[in-house]
Structure 1
Amino acid sequence: MSFNLDKEILFWGRDKVPSREWGGRLPIALIFPEKKNLALSTLGWQAVFRSLIKEDDFVVERFCGQGEDEKDFKSLDNHLPLSSFPIWCFSLNFELDALNILRYLKKHNFSLKAQHRTHFPLLIGGGPLAFLNPFPLLPAFDFMFVGESEKDFVPLLQNLKRAYLQGAQKNDLVELALSWDCVLTKEKKARRVFQSSFFPAYSLFVSNKSAFPDTFLLEINRGCLYGCRFCAAGYIYRPFREISLKTAKEIIKKVQPKKVGLVGTALTDWPYLKEFLYWLAENKIKFSLSSLRIEALDKDFLIFLRKQGIRSITLAVEGISLKIRQSINKKFPEKKFWEVVSNISKLQFNTLKLYFILGFPNEQEDDFKELEIFLNRLNKVRAEAKGKKKKGLDLIQISASILVPKPWTPLQWIGVEDLDILEEKIKKFKKIVKKFSGIRFSGEKPILSHIQAVLARGDEQTFSFIETALNENSWIKAYKKEYKKIKQYLKEKDKDTVFPWDNIIQGINKEYLYKEFLFFYKQKQTSSCKKDCFKCSQCGISKFIEGKNEDII
């Protein structure tokens, strides 16, 4: 797909978004309830802002912050007060942001529940959590927009704008929104919307304040073909879509950035990756890459990356043993992995980052013994490849997160292990790593993973837990205080469990997910998705694309 970039806008450094007159327009506050550096590196939030400021119907101002500082309530663009906006649109990206959202309401002395707020502002939630599981936060919102913003969000707001300018009150606007399939409320199901003619998200703001300083971020693909059973992105962004080489080059030619960061869950599955990177290098444009798949890292490609100044390679191992990787459907070509590690060391990359996940209930002592053998070999391969050179692969950084079962994945039924078990697993991993010089370990706090799991699989009753966190100004204090009430969300679920997110028509067949859940315990791997969903009928997405599976849940 080609795209007309003539009217595209980009703001560099301290460039300011021009202000608009409010007359005849709908004022919208676009709020990212986290720190500014995260906001400036989140493409979805920026894509919404870009699509809205292109239309003359709206006055849009950006707000970001955790709701604890006065500056969070003044817009980034023209320092306007949040209280003056009748529409508040929150970007929902991380479970723990729920507390920040309630802080925004409390600061303005608004009731935390939408049913008790009869006047403006109208609160709209959108973003990944809105079509994953928005129900723990649903009581705070007038409605949720379910799906990708490129589809239907602007027309929906234009519809609301016309009514607003004619004097409609907040409840009138909610009633009007209910006619849209993508709108979710307590009383109404929603159907996820997505852009079928894919055009990528990319940076609207390039700043040294971003989590990726002075880097123009470009989305290469959306979704993932591999079907790892713990990964929500591989399921909620089906069908898999990717950018064309022509479009990627058009965007870069128009923008002319000094550095490009490629974003995607499956970068190395983009068939044009190497050709595009060579083209960037020829044009003296620097680039950075997120996690790469082992299969794509042949020696010539690694030599090219090293020559371009890439000093660090990130690989996702995920499971601590072959058994666990088979359980989670992680394709991991071990022979190729050792070849890649050897080449990384020979080519004198500075750092190798490896990601693992702990907390799968079938992890046993033998799996940790296998992990120790794996790390021992890792150290040997690195040293052998380095030889007598003074420099080689100096640091291997290992990060271990804790499993958080996500809705719309095969592991949505799985139980979360108790804190003492998870803490022991982290200690065991750390103890093994300490045996090897040049390998560092960082692990997640299990209590935070428990809190995220409660919010990930919670329902509207979970809102009281978020209220307690607000009153205590602490997730951990709230967890300890409310544990007896919230522990139900950590338990394994049976096949017939009715989940709150079943009220979202996502397109994935629940029976398909449960079959994959059973394969987890059988350590049975299934093949990756095809790029053309119409050639497959396994998960239900092909029917969803055609609009034929409204009753799929």
Structure 2
Amino acid sequence: MGSRTLYHGVSEPVAPDLGGRLPVALTVPGGDKAAISALGWQAVFRTLTEEPGLAVERVFPDKLGLTDGAEPRTRESNSPLSSFPVIAWSITFEEDFLSLPRTLRAAGVPPLAAERPSLPLVIAGGPIAFLNPAPIAPFVDCFWVGEAEDRFINFFDSLKRLVFDGRDKEVILDTVKDMPGVYVPGRSKTPVKRISTGETGPLLDPAFSCFISGHAAFRDTMLLEVNRGCPYGCRFCAAGYIYRPPRLAEIDELKRIVELTDPHKVGLVGTALTDWPDLLAFLKWLNGKKKKFSLSSMRADGITEELLMYLRECGIRTITLALEGASERLRRMMSKKLDPKDFLNAVRLCARYGVNHLKLYMIIGWPGETDEDYEEFALFLEEIVRIRSEEPGGRKKQFMRITIGISSLVPKPFTPFQWSPMMGEKALEARMKQLVKMAKPFKGVTLQHDNPFQARLQGLLARGGEDLAEFILLAADQGGWKKALKLWNGNPADILDRERGHDEAFPWEVVDIGVKREFLWKEWEKAKEAKVSPGCPSIDCKTCRMCGMETMLDK
């Protein structure tokens, strides 16, 4: 059972008492709305705030690095960011890299670590820290690599002692550089092992919101983590590798959290909600407590008549399913493990049991994809529309809208596709135009897609090394990414457009997520042959010993 209790809901916390405490500015890029809509940093805020030796305040800089149009200040005491000895960043998305130099500069703090001989100490954590910290390493003094647990607190306890003892920055970094989970660029012994909160089995301390807001993307909703990691091992999905081992929350712990926080609405968050055996029982419990709820995307093979009937009874009318690949061959390439019959059956059940908006997600830009793959999808889409027409969802009063969301494949570090080239911008645009034309004849079917330029930018930032810091600084100073690309001396094609060799070193390998490189390479070889691999079995890592996680957990 988890022990965390801090919850503010719609209330704003008062400024903490600084007496004998280390001031920490927890900085989350993107502005208020984006910050309150994210879950990870809120779990970190709770963990740090519940420690008596720390005085934690929040900063939500906007795209320009400002708060309320002026220099960045904390929400609790309105103190300038520059007054804090520790500035801790929670970074989830590559596009947020731009906020780091902009915010530091707006605060009067030199953005490059080499230009900061003294405090503040700039720390970064979040998924980026154990996916690829290299592009922002020149801005950061040290990274926390992994999840927030006891060793995370030990790290901050050490920082407090060193700062209060008057140690200079060099001594502080040399002292913490080889602590578990700490990566100090240029000083730590690499690779630094990722910290995980537990082994295969229960998710011991599921994350939940500290704050809710009517202005958040998930309005007035307390987000609640149902599972972490994913057992399916889809080859494109970083979450299935960097959050191993997969863990499921226990229903009694989630009930404890809901009873503690007493929110109006609960948003269940997870990569595989329908894998949780207690899902329906928990939804019924929530409804009995008169709590509204929402669900993230679900696997098609987990959709049942009983679940959909209950969701309809509770007023849930939107369901999200991930198809991912246009053809069976592409789904085998990514090791999706989805029977097309199960997907079509889920569509039928949705059309039968009152779903009025079905969202489908698909990824384009796979290495070696062909027009034949998308001709197969055209037939599959016809079948989806035909099934809808046979059920109540095809009738005027209960019509089920279908929205197809298309995103571009960004080959991510620590996945088998880390060796893959990324499709070019023009080819992605052409494929999207083809899909828009394909969907147009069908009534009630709309297609939305991402921006290929933004996808390629994400790929560049996700896969680059420390030399990308120059590019990020140019973007911060020159008004954005497109201008920076024109001025930067680097070559994006070298990072994005070529297949990597077996022995090529990657800049992100300064961290060790626990999954063996050779395991990922074999999965890449199988991907090129469109061969499916089994996912994580329901046994502990030390017994499985398939991907290498047992070595990390042993230590």
- TM-score norm. by structure 1 comes to 0.95
Q: Which of 187, 193, 217 is the aligned partner of 2:223?
A: 217
Q: How does 1:292-307 map to 2 (within 5 A)?
A: 292-307=298-313
Tell me if 1:336 matches 2:342: yes
After superposition, the Cα gap between the structure-2 partners of 1:107 and 1:418, relative to the gap in structure 1 and judged at 3 Å, is same
After superposition, the Cα gap between the structure-2 partners of 1:462 and 1:484, relative to the gap in structure 1 and judged at 3 Å, is closer
Match of 1:523 in 2: 530
SS in 2 for 1:164: helix
- CA–CA distance in structure 1, aligned partners of residues 308 and 135 of structure 2: 45
Match of 1:11 in 2: 8
Query: Would you say the 8 A contact 1:347–1:392 is kept in 2?
Result: no
Tell me if 1:44 matches 2:40: yes
SS in 2 for 1:73: coil
Q: Offset at 1:290?
A: 0.2
Q: Offset at 1:10?
A: 1.2
SS in 2 for 1:205: coil
Worse-matched range after superposition: 507-516 or 486-495: 486-495
Q: Percent identity?
A: 39
Query: Would you say the 8 A contact 1:348–1:391 is kept in 2?
Result: no
- CA–CA distance in structure 2, aligned partners of residues 452 and 151 of structure 1: 32
Q: Offset at 1:288?
A: 0.5
Query: Would you say the 8 A contact 1:261–1:287 is kept in 2?
Result: yes
Match of 2:485 in 1: 479
Q: How does 1:332-481 map to 2 (within 5 A)?
A: 332-386=338-392, 389-481=395-487
Match of 1:551 in 2: none
Q: Offset at 1:291?
A: 0.3
Match of 1:237 in 2: 243
Match of 1:266 in 2: 272
Deviations 1:401-441 (A, max 9, x none): 10111111000000012211111111111111112121111
After superposition, the Cα gap between the structure-2 partners of 1:330 and 1:248, relative to the gap in structure 1 and judged at 3 Å, is same
- Root mean square deviation of aligned Cα: 1.6
Query: Would you say the 8 A contact 1:358–1:403 is kept in 2?
Result: yes
Tell me if 1:154 matches 2:153: yes
Deviations 1:27-80 (A, max 9, x none): 110000112222112221011111111112111110112352342712122322
- CA–CA distance in structure 2, aligned partners of residues 387 and 200 of structure 1: 36
Tell me if 1:26 matches 2:17: no
Query: Would you say the 8 A contact 1:67–1:101 is kept in 2?
Result: no
Query: Would you say the 8 A contact 2:3–2:205 is kept in 1?
Result: no
After superposition, the Cα gap between the structure-2 partners of 1:525 and 1:151, relative to the gap in structure 1 and judged at 3 Å, is farther
- CA–CA distance in structure 1, aligned partners of residues 367 and 401 of structure 2: 30
SS in 1 for 2:135: coil
SS in 2 for 1:211: coil
After superposition, the Cα gap between the structure-2 partners of 1:21 and 1:348, relative to the gap in structure 1 and judged at 3 Å, is closer
Deviations 1:201-254 (A, max 9, x none): 101112212211111111111000000000000000011111111211122222
After superposition, the Cα gap between the structure-2 partners of 1:250 and 1:39, relative to the gap in structure 1 and judged at 3 Å, is same
Match of 1:191 in 2: 193
Match of 1:140 in 2: 139
- CA–CA distance in structure 2, aligned partners of residues 122 and 543 of structure 1: 32
- How many aligned residue pairs are there? 543
> What amino acid does structure 2 have at the position aligned with 1:34?
G
Q: Which of 286, 293, 305 is the aligned partner of 1:287?
A: 293
Query: Would you say the 8 A contact 1:352–1:393 is kept in 2?
Result: no
Deviations 1:273-313 (A, max 9, x none): 11111111222211110000112211121111111010100
> What amino acid does structure 2 have at the position aligned with 1:500?
P
After superposition, the Cα gap between the structure-2 partners of 1:25 and 1:4, relative to the gap in structure 1 and judged at 3 Å, is closer
Q: Which of 529, 535, 539 is the aligned partner of 2:547?
A: 539
Query: Would you say the 8 A contact 1:160–1:176 is kept in 2?
Result: no
SS in 2 for 1:12: coil
- TM-score norm. by structure 2 comes to 0.95
> What amino acid does structure 2 have at the position aligned with 1:104?
T
Query: Would you say the 8 A contact 1:67–1:73 is kept in 2?
Result: no
SS in 1 for 2:391: helix
Match of 1:550 in 2: none
After superposition, the Cα gap between the structure-2 partners of 1:4 and 1:130, relative to the gap in structure 1 and judged at 3 Å, is closer
- CA–CA distance in structure 2, aligned partners of residues 483 and 235 of structure 1: 33
After superposition, the Cα gap between the structure-2 partners of 1:484 and 1:425, relative to the gap in structure 1 and judged at 3 Å, is farther
- CA–CA distance in structure 2, aligned partners of residues 283 and 430 of structure 1: 43
Q: Offset at 1:534?
A: 2.6
Question: What runs of 5+ residues in structure 1 fail to find an aligned partner?
Answer: 548-553
Q: Offset at 1:389?
A: 4.0
